[in-house]
Chains A and B, each alone.
Chain A
Amino acid sequence: MSENALPHEPARPRRALPQINPVYFVLAALIVAIIVQNPAFVEPTGYMNFLKRAAPLAILAAGQLYVIVSGGFDLSVGSLITLVVVGSSMLTNNDPNATWWVIAVMFGIGLGVGLINGLVVCYLKVPSLIATLGMMITLNGLALMWSGGAPRGYLPDSFRFFGRFNFTDLPVIRILPVAIIVLVVAGFVLYWFMHRTNFGRLLHAIGDNPRAARLAGVPVNRVRISAFVVSSLSAVVAGILLGGFAGVSTDVGLGYELQAITATVLGGAQLLGGRGSVPAAIAGALTLMAIFTLLNFLGLPQPVRQVVQGLILILAVAATVYRQRRAGR
């Protein structure tokens, strides 16, 4: 250890080109496969619909990435989505004018959930996996209690605008779903904070070595709590979009937490912290959706999706570990 930086393996000469995250190649290949299966995908309605359906997961994955890079996990986001959808339908009570304040309340709930997750992890020292698992169960229970067991009512169209509405008759692209605008804006904001601010660099530092970060003066708890808040707020955004096109049910957010984690891992994020990229996490989410779409085309039943997702999660982590070992450290 004391010696030099010699590579451990006599590896082949280093490539001159900068390393490109493999997730982009995988995504490109999958899109080609989808087009082969269904040529209509190249039409704006084809890919726009794909992006629209992928938008909630992509936003969720980008938010989850904050917690992953900080060295934790946020399992509570799926139930938070459910709570947002169920809670919004209860609160709006079919009143279109209620949309705006209900959305504000939902962001308030998201802020609260993120703060509690972060405070529990930082001050009660509960590992994030357990803290957010507890939050996941609690929020699910709250959603069921709130809806009285069976959700009723509908979300008004003014609320469903974000998830469902398409601008049509546009030049070139013809249609533009609002969900995609939300994805682009949220994705850019999340990208900016992760890769262009102190917050992002400090987040990487505390995920990499929290003790060293603390001794260097980093406000570790503040940064960590902020990561949980970002993740929760991204879940609220995802919930609002899903409420728009998935309708009201108590299992609307089911499984989204693991899909989001899978997406970040597909994007090359380091589980246990220290490394991750927002664009790659979004590409990871699109990759996951593309795989699901392909499975659909192939007529495989829903349970197969779960098997595939599980295998992808394991393979993606294994691939990341393998690449890092090859790189020397």
Chain B
Amino acid sequence: MNETVPETVPPPVIEMQGIGKSFPGVRALHDVSFAAKAGEVHALVGENGAGKSTLIKILSGAYRPDAGTILLAGAPVSFQHPVEALRAGISVIHQEFSLLPERTVAQNLFLGREPVKRGLIDYTAMRAETRRVLDLFGAGGRIDPDMLVTELDVASQQMVEIAKAISLEARVVVMDEPTAALNEAECEVLFGIVGKLRDRGTAVIYITHRMREVTRLADRVTVLKDGEVATRFDTRPAPDVIVRAMVGRDIADFYAPRATREEIGDVVLSIRGGGNAALRGIDLDLRAGEILGFAGIQGAGRVALAMALIGHRPFTAGKVYLSGAEVAFAHPREAIRAGIGLVPGDRKAEGLTPMQSVRDNGMLTARAFAGLAATHKANHHTDLAGMDRLLDSLEVRAASYDQSIGSLSGGNQQKAIVARWLALKPKVMIFVEPTRGIDVNAKAGIYHLMRELAREGTAILMISSDLPEVIGAADRILVMRAGAIVSEFGPGPTEAQIMLAATGETEAAA
């Protein structure tokens, strides 16, 4: 793409006018207009269910709109199939990548359009072009064209997706929550790439839940609410202005207030010298009523610590004390029986039994500790009616609690998993990435719920890659690096202070 941008105002690269789309019983979009110009980052924000995904699916040819038109560089188009949109220069980078894991980076980049020389695939040319594209945004040092995709970490895989979009000469690149699986340092790299895409004259449509990214990257912001455009900002607004537009209320009480001195009680959980393959020399005290936040980059050992505490990948060194008594858990069952609970970070792989009903997912742990031959309807923790009341109190939105949980939104799934533990009232609750991939309103709900649990005396350990969340929700913050706890902060450190401790490099704080 070497075309020069003319002086006169060109039509937007992509323009959607008056788009409407309904599904049975749901009006997903109504009269939505949206445009992106060359060389701008246009953020698309809104709660879950606001219609962002539907709009993008229409743009990428996966759905066809009931009403409205799509203009590509001023000319109307109608995509029958995602491949047509791709050929027209619209690349969508989904949260779940479409790469083939057992193929090399170069093979993925040229999938289905391999260069041919004398009847054979020209691997030399493929490699060279792959390297050129990767170098364009400074990923050449990180990714080799001959590496298998499966060897790459999530951030690098995402870079390959972006490289693919660039090599396809995409005029419009849509990124659907690109930072959902990235840590802080990787996010920085991504932001750099987004900037470079913009500088190259690509129109970037950026979907996110995180206000920080909007305020940092976006040239314009469109807020969707209930399938309609709620507001459009042609400049970069302040975060609270955007959030108000999204949820229709203020964010003053987004995070729950911190614990007061009186609310923090005795030490419930102590670890002395805890270690295993991923952890070393873990010392910590967790008190009743407090929310202890854990920050650190991916692989620093925070999740390993959660998995060691719950007995999934146990400590092999050191001692753990629960309410003063020494304990050692070799299986999650033992840890749970002793009063520890875990809301895992990877909801799909570790939290949900997706085909089972919402109610069954909530009942899972209570049933696991009742007799196998006993009735499924009640046990000494709760019964079906009690579970329904819990789900009601958490405002889980489902057509029925008999519905399979896999069909709910992320926030509602998360609430059902939390309900699993509320029925047991554990002494210590571990939350890993408690609000990953859930919308703003549900996030606030989870923060308040954690605080409420703490007030009732539960000690809470919260592991999160979302720094503002750790800072906003935790009473105390421990930072981990390379399997060890490296520093501790009281309430309210800055992101820079935490990043400095997490990376151990002064430059990274910038």
A-side interface residues toward B, CB under 8 Å? 1-7, 10-14, 193, 196-202, 204-205, 208-209, 211-219, 222-223, 226, 270, 274-275, 328-329
10 shortest interchain CB distances as A-B pairs:
A3-B53, A208-B353, A4-B49, A217-B336, A199-B372, A218-B368, A274-B355, A217-B368, A198-B367, A205-B353
Segment with Cβ contacts to A, from B156-164, B242-250, B356-364: B356-364
Residue with the highest number of chain B CB atoms closer than 10 Å, among A2, A14, A196, A201: A2
- Return chain B residues, CB-CB under 8 Å to A205: 353, 356, 360, 364
CB nearest to A14 among chain B residues: B24
Q: Report chain A residues within 8 Å CB of B354.
A: 208-209, 329
* B373 interface neighbour in A13, A197, A214, A275, Cβ under 8 Å: A197
**Is there contact, CB below 8 Å, between B407 and A329?**
yes
Given A2-B176, A2-B177, A200-B376, residue A217 in contact with residue B28 (CB < 8 A)? no
Q: Which B residues touch A202, using CB under 8 A?
A: 364, 367-368, 372
Task: Report yes or no: B368 in contact with A329, Cβ–Cβ below 8 A.
Answer: no
Q: How large is the interface on B (under 10, 10 to 19, 20 to 34, 35 or more residues)?
A: 35 or more
Q: Could you give 10 example pairs across A and B, Cβ below 8 Å?
A: A2-B180, A3-B48, A11-B24, A13-B24, A196-B376, A205-B364, A215-B332, A270-B355, A274-B353, A329-B407
Q: Hey, which chain B residues are within 8 Å of A200, CB to CB?
A: 376
CB pair B376 A197 closer than 8 Å:
yes
Answer whether residue B201 sits at the interface, using C-beta atoms and an 8 A cutoff: no
B314 at the interface (CB under 8 A from A): no
- Selected from A14, A198, A218, the residue in CB contact (under 8 A) with B375 is A198
**Residues on A with beta carbons closer than 8 Å to the beta carbon of B23:** 6-7, 10
Residue pair A2, B48 in contact (C-beta under 8 Å): yes
Residue from B349, B356, B375 whose CB has the most chain A CB atoms within 10 Å:
B356
Chain A residues within an 8 Å CB radius of B364? 201-202, 205, 213, 216-218
If A2-B180, A3-B48 touch, does A274 touch B356 (CB 8 Å cutoff)? yes
A324 nearest in chain B by CB position:
B355
Q: Are B95 and A199 in contact (CB under 8 A)?
A: no
Chain A residues with CB under 8 A of B367: 198, 201-202
- For the complex, is B324 an interface residue (Cβ under 8 Å from A)? no
Q: Which residues of A contact B94 (CB under 8 A)?
A: 1
Please give, as numbers and ranges, the residues of chain A lying within 8 Å of B410 by CB-CB distance. 2
B window 259-318: CB within 8 A of A: 310, 312
B355 to A, closest residue via Cβ: A274
Cα A214 to Cα B94 in complex, Å, equals 30
Q: Are A204 and B368 in contact (CB under 8 A)?
A: no
Chain A residue with the shortest CB-CB distance to B336: A217
CB distance from A192 to the nearest CB of B (A): 9
The distance in angstroms between the C-alpha atoms of A217 and B311, with both chains bound, is 10
Please report the C-alpha to C-alpha distance between residue A43 and residue B369 in the assembled complex, in whole angstroms: 50
Chain A residues contacting B312 (CB-CB under 8 Å) are 214-215
Residues of B within 8 A of A3 (CB): 48-49, 52-54, 409
Contacts of A213 in B (CB 8 A): 353, 364, 368
B388 → chain A closest CB, angstroms: 16
Judging by beta carbons under 8 Å apart, are B95 and A1 in contact? yes
Q: Taking the complex as formed, is B256 at the interface, i.e. its CB lies under 8 A from any CB of chain A?
A: no
| Residues on the A chain within 8 Å of B374, using CB | 197-198
Distance, CA A222 to CA B302, complexed state (A): 30
CB distance from A165 to the nearest CB of B (A): 31
Given the known interface contacts A13-B25, A213-B364, the answer about A6 and B376 at a Cβ–Cβ threshold of 8 Å is no
Q: In the bound complex, how far is the Cα of B356 from the Cα of A270, in angstroms? A: 12
**A212 CB contact (under 8 Å) in B49, B336, B349, B373:** B349
Residues of chain A lying within 8 A (CB to CB) of residue B372: 197-199, 202, 222-223, 226
Q: B370 interface residue, CB < 8 Å from A?
A: yes
Q: How far is the CA of A226 from the CA of B371 in the complex (A)?
A: 13
Any A CB within 8 A of the CB of B253: no
Q: Mark B109-128, 1 if CB is under 8 A from A, else 0.
A: 00000000000000000000
Collect the chain B residues with CB atoms within 8 Å of residue A7's CB.
23-24
Report the Cα distance A151→B455, complex, angstroms. Answer: 73
Q: Is A198 in contact with B180, judged by CB distance below 8 angstroms?
A: no
A217-B356 contact in complex given A3-B49, A211-B350, C-beta closer than 8 Å: no
B281 CB → nearest A CB, Å = 25
The docked-state distance in angstroms from the alpha carbon of A228 to that of B376 is 21
B390 CB-CB contact with A under 8 Å: no
Please report the C-alpha to C-alpha distance between residue A193 and residue B374 in the assembled complex, in whole angstroms. 9
Besides A13-B24, A204-B356, A212-B349, 14 more A-B contacts (Cβ < 8 Å) are A1-B96, A2-B95, A2-B410, A5-B49, A5-B409, A198-B375, A201-B364, A202-B367, A212-B344, A213-B353, A214-B331, A217-B364, A218-B333, A218-B365
Q: Which of B63, B332, B373 contacts A217 (CB 8 A)?
A: B332
Q: How far is the CA of A20 from the CA of B420 in the complex (A)?
A: 30
Nearest Cβ on chain A to B449's Cβ, whole angstroms: 18
Contacts known (A5-B409, A201-B376, A217-B333); A212 close to B353, Cβ less than 8 A: yes
Give Cα A208–Cα B96 distance, bound, in whole angstroms: 21
Instruction: Tell me if B148 counts as interface (CB < 8 A to partner A).
Output: no
Chain B contacts of A4 at CB under 8 A?
48-49, 53, 409
